[in-house]
Amino acid sequence: MRRNGLDPIEELARARDGEGIVRVETPFGLPAYLVCRKEDVRQVLADPARFSSATPLPGAGQDDVTAGQLIRLDPPDHTRLRRLLTPEFTVRRMNRLEPRITEIVQTALDNLERAGKPADLVAHFALPVPSLVICELLGVPYADRGEFHERAARILDTSLPVDQRVAAQREDHDYMAGLVARARADPGEDMLGMLVREHGDDLTSDELTGIAGLLLLAGHETTANMLGLGTLALLWHPDQLALLREDPELIEPAVEELLRWLSVVQSLPPRTTTTDVEIGGHRVPAGSLVICSIPAANRDPALIDAPETLDITRGTTGHVAFGHGAHHCLGAPLARMELRIALPALLRRFPRLALAGPDERVEFRAFSLVYGVRALQVTW
């Protein structure tokens, strides 16, 4: 899942445009089939009966840790839990958050400016905005952000030994379990409190812990990396940046194009075939691990013309940056809203925004399951 700057590595494109599916070894040392074409990726993600998300991974046996983790569940368990959460993530419900998100963005911009140039866009803007939003939504103390950011980095870092990543998952579970216990004793007005009040008898504490942990991890990691990487993409494509500055109405298609072109989620959790299947003309035996490459699928020529080109005027393209099927990202409306508010606000506040230093000094999160930049020094 390596990357070359903002682009997927050439081997992914060759695999997609060639056989479409190749054998690889996962970071856990297990063999798997890597699916690279858009239609094949959609086939896998849309069929939980033949491609199960309940895939045992190293560290299995921790049933309490994986309980409530929607991305690792199949129907009917997945259906039951998602039905409880879906009302909280509708576009209408997310729109109610817009004034508060706007405040959070403006405060982060104030802090970035106060830090003085050059300043790290990731530390002062890209990471704080989604972190505070998801903390307030869930009822997680923002003061604890340093700890859960560090744990998230270890969980997602495929270069670390498996036991260290599993230990980080355990630490994260224990932390969230403490929050769930407090919410059960005194439920607040946040989402965790709502789940306790309205569904406390239907959800075990381990399920509540898993749900909250997943939402916290996904809620800040993906959007934070989209904000950092998206800003870098625009700075490296000044023609696209100029278009967005000249016409703020382009922000919606720009967000969709950045989501497609960057594909910060490099792959979704592996599926396990429950029977012999055919993917893109290839037979895959029952019991095989299958991994979907999101960057390869989103740059498939079958999806869109000139897929390697960043073109913010395209609009919606049917990308799979948020997944597809039953596991389509629950928080997609929230992520889109944060990006639509934060990116234009950044460009308005700093009309002369630029990188502070040569391009080659940008350090990417090369081994993270959620791709991004470790830091982004900017000036204005």
The CATH number of the domain holding residue 302 is: 1.10.630.10
State which amino acid sits at residue 348: R
DSSP string, 277-313: EEETTEEE-TT-EEEEBHHHHHT-TTTSSSTTS--TT
How high is the pLDDT of residue 61? 46
**pTM > 0.85: yes or no:** yes
Which of the 8 DSSP states describes residue 270?
A: P
* Domain range for 364: 3-379
CA angle 120, 121, 122 (to 5 degrees): 90
Exposed, middle or buried: residue 225 (CB in 10 Å: 0-12, 13-18, 19+)? buried
Helix (H) or strand (E) holding 172: helix 162-185
Peptide bond into 358 cis (omega under 30): no
How high is the pLDDT of residue 60? 45
Pairing of strands 31-35, 289-292: parallel
State which amino acid sits at residue 47: D
The structural domain count of the chain equals 1
Cα-atom radius of gyration of the chain, to the nearest Å? 20
How high is the pLDDT of residue 62? 55
How high is the pLDDT of residue 65? 64
Exposed, middle or buried: residue 351 (CB in 10 Å: 0-12, 13-18, 19+)? exposed
Token pair of 52, please? Answer: 């199960």
Average pLDDT per consecutive 10 residues, the chain (380 residues; last block may be shorter): 84 94 87 96 97 75 69 92 89 89 98 96 97 94 91 90 88 93 94 91 92 91 97 98 95 97 93 97 96 96 95 90 94 96 97 92 91 96
Distances (CA, A) of 283 to 15, 128, 340: 16, 46, 42
How high is the pLDDT of residue 59? 53
